[in-house]
Structure 1
């Protein structure tokens, strides 16, 4: 199948937020995020991309249908929770581009779209003058009861892209897990690369 990849900013980005919200709710419901999302929360959470200069959505389209998306923005514009652990280790968060969520409908996986998401966001970051990038991956215990037996972590893929874990640099951010009555803080490992 032929998938078109488009980098979206400005009005195009704004017009994609509802479709991105639906994808996030669907894809992040699965392991390892286990996210119990709502459109109300998504509308508030994603609105920051509209207000952030330098934000991008790299969308994957099957015809007119958004089947995957990866977002990014200058780290200095991200929530404080994402900036503080890096700043505490001496990183200048105004010089790092943050690769936020990356979601892809399972039916479209294994076709190289994940690489194209990184390519698009990294090119956008370099175009803005950034030469460093970071992202976070959720940390779950190996013995978590909802972990699928066939789960394969994305660590090898991320390392192939040149990213490495920043040891002991952990972001905590709240979301509602499946079965939770209220949102709780989740640990996320920071990965970093010089572009």
Structure 2
């Protein structure tokens, strides 16, 4: 990671002052494919409420001088929105045993410097300090392979997530609502979860959801 980029973590009441920076990053970065998010502060306030209300949530910020250039969030699944929590209960995984990774967002010019790996490391370290989790999990939007909006130079993060120990579980999915570019109002977007078993009680991937 470049020496001029600082990575810092914030938890509990410290989070509140950092949420506007996270909101601004989300609006800017998630406008890119595949999210195509036409962001607004109303949605951001509702979404980020999850992190401001949980004493065990964490935000990891990357800064270049005084500028926030990247952010990553996480929270115990028991404090996550219903859209994230309920699929786990239906799938046979206790949501209370899952640590939910919200997002990692980084301006394009700062990518490829190891910051994304640091985001995973800091959130997983926080989960280990809290204890009591069998899985780390996040979800990612699913787009058709032939989506005409897909840029020619688009690079999937699937290989990177695999290297960090996560696997895609297509049977574990949900929908999040947001307004994408060109839409007049919010609509449901398909999201599939990625899991990383942790701890002595973690089930093998092939056994998850078998019952």
Q: What TM-score do you get using the length of structure 1 for normalisation?
A: 0.96
Greater C-alpha Rg: 2
In 1: Cα distance, 2:145 partner to 2:24 partner: 28
RMSD: 1.1
- The counterpart of 1:165, out of the listed 160, 168, 171, is 168
CA contact (8 A) 1:136 1:188 kept: yes
Contact kept in structure 2, 1:138 and 1:189, CA below 8 Å: yes
Count of paired positions: 195
Whole-angstrom CA distance in 2 between matches of 1:125 and 1:139: 26
> For residue 69 of structure 2, what is the aligned residue in structure 1?
67
Deviation at 1:35, TM superposition (A): 0.2
Unaligned runs of 5+ in 1: none
Cα deviation, residue 48, structure 1: 2.1
CA distance in 1, matches of 2:99, 2:50: 15
* Closer, same or farther: CA 24–115 of 1 in aligned 2, 3 Å: same
The answer on whether the counterparts of 2:69 and 2:107 sit within 8 Å (CA) in structure 1 is yes
The answer to whether the 8 A contact 1:125-1:131 is kept is no
Residue in 2 aligned with 1:26? Answer: 28
Distance of 1:3 and 1:134 partners within structure 2: 26
User: Deviation at 1:50?
Assistant: 1.1
Q: Alignment partner of 1:97: what SS?
A: strand
Tell me, yes or no, if the aligned pair for 2:11 and 2:55 is still in contact at 8 Å.
no
Detail structure 1 runs of 4+ shifted over 2 Å in the superposition: none
Distance 1:64 1:43 in 2: 23
Deviation digits for residues 165-184 of structure 1 (CA, Å, limit 9, x no counterpart) = 11321111110010001111
